Structure formats: C-alpha cells, structure tokens
C-alpha cells in the first residue's frame, strides 16, 4: 500500500518545526536593534505565524455517505492534524494583508461492516484524505494590535481579537487502497487502488485572538471555516463533487517583523 499522507505529514511537520526554530533563533538578534523595554522602535511591517492544531472536514457529500455506510469509518475519522503558516503585511493600524498555506491529512484503516471474505477474515482497506489550501486575503484587527507612542515607540496590545477573509485554491487527495467488494459481480472481492486528486477554488472565514508575550512574539489562537468542493476523478465515477469544506482550530506563535 502507498502511504502518501504519512510521508507528506512528516515532511510538513519538519518544515514547520524548521521555520519555527529559525524564527526563534533569529528573533533575539533582531530584537536588540529593533526593540526596547516592552516596545518596538516603530510599528511592525508584518507578521510571520506558524500554527498547529486540528481540522475536521464536514464530509457531507455522497462519497462520504457511501464510505461510512459500507465501511467501519465515521465522519470524524477524516479529521486530523493541521499545520499552517501565515505571512502578513500591515496596512495602517488595523488592516493586514495575509498569505496563508495549510495542510491537513488523515489515514484511517477500515473493513466492511456487513461482509467478510470467503476465508472468514475481514475485508480491509485504508483511506487517506489530504487537503492543502493556499490563500490570499485580509485580516482585520477589531482592536489595534498595538499603540504608537511618540515618533519611535510601538507597544503591542496585550490582547487583540481579529477576523479574516481569504480566498484561493485547495489541492486535495482522496485515496483508498486494499480489498473491495464488487456488488455487480456476485460480491466478488478484488484488490483496488482508487485515487482522486486535483485543485479546487476555496474561500475561508476566520476569527481569533492574539496574546502578546513580548514586543516581538505573540500567541495566536484561530478558528476557521473553509469552503470548497471538486468533481471526482474517473476512479469514483457516478459520485457527486466531493465536499472539501471543514472547520479547524489552530494555535500558533507569531513573530512581528520590523
């Protein structure tokens, strides 16, 4: 069997940890020149955020209905870890242009609920669901993320809530491999490797809050709803477009760039 999501998930984790480590190691060097005791020398030009959390697809299209009715899978079995990176550029006191990329994936094993093989053993398979949205948009701070004092000092707000609107594209893959029942051929069992993937337009709404740790760093908590759907490939002919929408909750570390 192929283990697509495991490889991609480990790669993304390594990239995420590498980016986070680089920011943490580089920040003290820049902080000496760009910050004072509790403030920055000027408003930040942007932010870099590394996030991690959990994403739960809605899984509401008929492919998921079919899969969960026949196999020992539940809709929540498609939820999994999510990793993301945001790059923001401040435009005034409250508006921030935002570039984001995320990845969420889950691999789950299953068998048929009501069928077993002629050898008396379960008919087993593996399902992988991967989503990778890449989006542009804007984040609006409901209260200013910081306050300028005089011409030089900029003091971050202790707590700053925000909302964000984004749009872009999502790459997805729905992959099933293992043994399957052919109901049109006397319920015979065959080995299969079924895949559908591609790009789909997507849009997202987010809300969250940033809590300042010091002039350069903040903790960011974000909830997001993302919408997307896409026609399936030839391996899943006869099904409606796959539902790629879902909810996610992530927590991250933000570095203010100066």
CA 180 to chain centre: 30
- Give CA–CA dist 150/45, Å, rounded: 18
What are the structural domain ranges in the chain?
A: 4-257
Average pLDDT over residues 180-185: 86
Q: What is the pTM of this model?
A: 0.83
169 vs 36, higher pLDDT? 169
- CATH fold, domain 4-257, is Porin (2.40.160)
State the pLDDT at residue 238. 92
Question: How confident is residue 18, by pLDDT bands cut at 50, 70 and 90?
Answer: low
End-to-end CA distance of the chain: 48
Q: What percent of the chain has pLDDT over 70?
A: 83
* Residue 82 confidence (pLDDT) above 90: yes
> Pseudo-torsion of CA 44, 50, 56, 57, nearest 10°?
80
Residues 46, 90 contacting (CB under 8 angstroms): yes
């Amino acid at each position: 069997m192929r283990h697509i999501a495991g490889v991609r998930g480990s790669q993304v984790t390594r990239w995420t940890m590498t980016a986070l480590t680089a920011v943490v190691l580089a920040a003290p060097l820049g902080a000496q020149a760009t910050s004072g005791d509790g403030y920055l020398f000027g408003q930040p030009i942007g932010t870099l955020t590394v996030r991690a959390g959990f994403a739960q697809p809605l899984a509401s299209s008929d492919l998921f209905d079919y899969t969960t009715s026949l196999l020992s899978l539940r809709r929540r079995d498609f939820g999994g870890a999510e990793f993301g990176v945001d790059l923001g550029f401040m435009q005034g006191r409250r508006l921030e242009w935002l570039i984001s990329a995320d990845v969420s994936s889950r691999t789950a094993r299953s068998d048929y609920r009501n069928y077993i093989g002629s050898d008396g053993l379960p008919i087993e398979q593996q399902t992988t669901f991967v989503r990778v949205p890449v989006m542009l948009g804007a984040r609006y701070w409901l209260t200013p993320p910081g306050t300028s004092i005089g011409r030089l000092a900029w003091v971050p707000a202790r707590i700053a809530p925000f909302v964000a609107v984004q749009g872009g594209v999502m790459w997805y893959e729905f992959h099933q491999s293992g043994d399957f029942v052919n109901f049109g051929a006397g319920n015979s069992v065959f080995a299969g490797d079924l895949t559908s993937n591609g790009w789909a337009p997507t849009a997202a709404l987010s809300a969250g809050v940033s809590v300042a740790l010091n002039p350069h760093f903040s903790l960011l908590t974000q909830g997001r709803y993302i919408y997307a759907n896409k026609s399936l490939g030839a391996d899943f002919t006869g099904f409606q477009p796959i539902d790629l929408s879902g909810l996610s909750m992530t927590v991250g570390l933000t570095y203010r760039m100066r």
